[in-house]
Chains A and B, each alone.
Chain A
Amino acid sequence: MDVLREELDLTGTKYGCGEGSCRACTVLVDGRPVASCQLAIAKVQGKEVTTIEGLAAGDKLHAVQEAFVAENAMQCGYCTPGMVLTAVALLRTNPKPTRAQIVEWMNGNLCRCNNYSNILRAIERAAELTQEAPAK
């Protein structure tokens, strides 16, 4: 995480606890969500790491990002990068999750503004968006 934030200046990856309890620092490693605060740099050699900055294609937001905006799924937005990336990984493995499956998958991500209801709705909306226009 320090490498991302300090050396590469990718500050979209957030510190929230440093011990794997909040998932604000989530990045995708080969598409899987990982808490970057628990990740040694050696472990990701030769792997593809996606941070929040790399999710949108230029100005075109990813469906999950679009849905978060549409559903107002943030208050302070500090947990948002981690939420978005975790949700992206969910929809890649399970494009049509039930509400219970979303809750189960997302339970590691904390939002202290407690905007959980909107985030759930946003993920459901993103699933619908992705159905309509399958991701490349």
Chain B
Amino acid sequence: MSAERNPIELERYELEEKPRYRFSLSRRAFVQTVGAGLLITSFGKFGRAQERAGKGRAVAGRFLFDKDGIVMALTGKVELGQGARTQLSQAVAEELRVPLSQVRLIMGDTDSVPNDGGTYGSQTTPRTVPTVRQAAASARELVVELACEQWGVKPDSTAMRDGVIEHSDGRKMTLAELVAKVGDVGAALAGKTSERIELTPADAWRVLGKLEGKVAAIELVTGKHRFPSDIKRPDMLYGKVLRPPSFDAELVDLDSKAAESLEGVTVVRDGSFVGCTAPTTFQARKALEALVATARWNTKPHPSSSELFRVLKETANSGSGRDRPRGSEQGDVGAAMAAADKVVLASYEVPYIQHAPMEPRAAVAEWVDGKLTVWTGTQTPFNVRGELAEAFSISEENVRVIMPDAGGGFGGKHRGDAAVEAARLAKAVKRPVAVHWTREEEFTWAYFRPAGLLEVAAAIDNAGKVTAWDFTNYNSGGSALDCPYTFPNKRVKSQPCDSPLRQGSYRALAATANNFAREAFIDRLAAETSADPLAFRLAYLEDGQLKEVLNAVAKQFKWTERRQDKATDTGYGIACGTEKGSFIATCVEIHVNAPTKEIQVRRVCAAFECGAVQNPANLKSQIEGCLIMGLGAALFETIQFQDGRITTNNFKQYRVPRFKDVPEIDVVILNRPDLPSAGAGETPIIAIAPAIANALHHATGTPLQALPLTVS
């Protein structure tokens, strides 16, 4: 089961992105340093935290114990609002048998934590939580052993409970007391080895699985928490970067005198990189304006969003690396199509959209004696460390990336753009520099959820049975490409294209596009065969979790009753999907305002299954967050571009969901303590857009095939 629960679809894009700047180092020096750097890299990656483990960090560099008995757990995972800090704290508390309040997490500091991989792909729950639990369980056994050594007894009848080591004869010792006796508990543990320990089964959980609030809530409501954009260093300057007026434009000429004459301003030029620093953001902005005024550019032609889908289709290519076409065929689709009574065809369009996390990219960089420290908001601190090492031709040993809990990511913060920029400026001015992207920069120079063109065909035989399925995704990727329905002949394909815009991960990746097209098309097929959309799906699904969530949502939503007594301008839609080992089904009720054509989603009901639930409160927030974020992508969000510029580069042009858009939401969580836990921050987003499309089809009688959905 657990193998099936972890079918990680490696993120396709972010590792392939080319660096944005080529700083003008001599080629030879570059190769030499990077050559050496790579050697150190592989050592550094696995070595540093472990090295320290040998010197006192307990159980593979996971835990530190302070004199008050507080357990500090170290992890390379980071917090961007998805709840990893709370969830991992719970995991430590559960297995170490200490109260949650006694656990602190140190996250995403590459100099002190183990590399747990990037924070994406819903991997914290299925991968990191078990690792951390195992480490905590081992640490618990070792701590008990240590206490018993102090008492001079055998560890048999001793156990840890609520942060206290208890012997059956009544003796007790708190963690603080243990630290007082042993000194460095971490170091003492490091010398010990432990067997693999049974983890606490879900039905015996005391901390996991409970409605725990956020561990850092007080810092957040009081404004005390320092997000990456709030970090300050002594003598810090504020930096700005000169951006081209359009994509791929090249700088031909620049006169930086006016900018440089402003008080406290330094202009930094290096290859294609131009930036400036100043004592305040206000002054840096003025300097930037002065630079913009004198810069002359050579612009390049660039396709516009109105030609997007044609361009994608025309540039379909054989790709390279992980970007190669992918797909599979079962049975003989061609033969089934030829023998069909009817062939149904449709193509679906999914535009580029943006993550638009509330906190734009931000970084502070500081160089001390050739060593670089960067505070930045990223989902992948260890990769950013590598990016910085490469950009400045230094070894990873000399780069430290610290990730303070940040203001949202959603797959959009995989790269270290702001980090590289801040580091370049800081290197030039020899002082710490902060770079805070503006919303406009974020909307233009970050990356986007890939646009996609999806062509689907199905064959229906003379008995009204679907006999073949043919599905091609141009450009947006292969996540959730497989068709879960039991059609006898199936072909699916993911086709790379030349994307006009920089694209990358997004919550659930291409599962949003693939599931939109598939589930909207399933409704078409249901209509073609005069079947109820729910009954049609159930008829073509094998027994299992997808069927279970469908049945659960239909029951909760009262699908059959509602769907039958439909009022004018009202529609009911259903859709489902599975990705990364979790299962979602969603029903919606929509209303179309006849004169204005405005679409209102009135009610959303979702059933979700992700195995054993670890934090019900946070899970509910993640599911609701996915549903509303998906509603935005379904109804409003689209990146428009022309002449190499993003025209939807602010929240006025680029509409995202607000309070008024929030429907009545009803979430059913199917808790399965008997199954391993799967990640849950992504999959619930994949069924809402098709459910809305299907409800609009129901309301208007016309099937919709392009996001964002509009009725005419």
Contact = CB atoms under 8 A, between A and B. Distances in A.
A61 interface: yes
A31 interface: no
Contacts of B406: 76, 78
A34 interface: no
Interface in B601-650: 617-618, 621-622, 624-629, 632, 650
B64 to A, nearest CB: 26
A95 interface: no
A72 B213 contact: yes
Contacts of A75: 81-83, 408, 621-622, 625
A16 B656 CA distance: 13
A24 to B, nearest CB: 6
- Among B221, B230, B232, B629, the most chain A Cβ lie within 10 Å of the Cβ of B221
Contact of B659 (A14, A18, A21, A103): A103
A114 B657 contact: yes
Contact of B408 (A17, A107, A113): A113
Contacts of A69: 213-214, 217-218, 221
- Among B225, B436, B617, B622, the most chain A Cβ lie within 10 Å of the Cβ of B225
B660 A112 contact: no
Interface in B279-337: 280-282
A130 interface: no
- Among B213, B238, B360, B659, the most chain A Cβ lie within 10 Å of the Cβ of B659
B360 A15 contact: yes
Contacts of B652: 19, 21
Nearest to B232: A9
Nearest to B667: A117
Given A74-B217, A77-B81, A11 B223 contact: yes
Interface stretch (B88-96, B351-359, B390-398, B530-538): B351-359
Contact of A107 (B221, B622, B660): B660
Contacts of B227: 11, 14, 78
Contacts of B669: none
Given A19-B439, A72-B213, A78 B665 contact: no
Contact of B439 (A16, A103, A104, A114): A16
A53 B83 CA distance: 24
B651 A120 contact: no
B650 A72 contact: no
Contact of B358 (A5, A65, A113): A113
Contacts of A78: 81, 227, 357-359, 406-408
Contacts of A5: 230
Given A15-B229, A113-B408, A52 B665 contact: no
A114 B232 CA distance: 29
B32 interface: no
A134 B282 CA distance: 41
B379 to A, nearest CB: 12
B223 A72 contact: no
Nearest to A111: B358
A36 interface: no
Contacts of A132: none
Contacts of B597: none
Nearest to B632: A114
Interface in B201-229: 213-214, 216-218, 220-227, 229
Contacts of A114: 624-629, 632, 657
A17 B223 contact: no
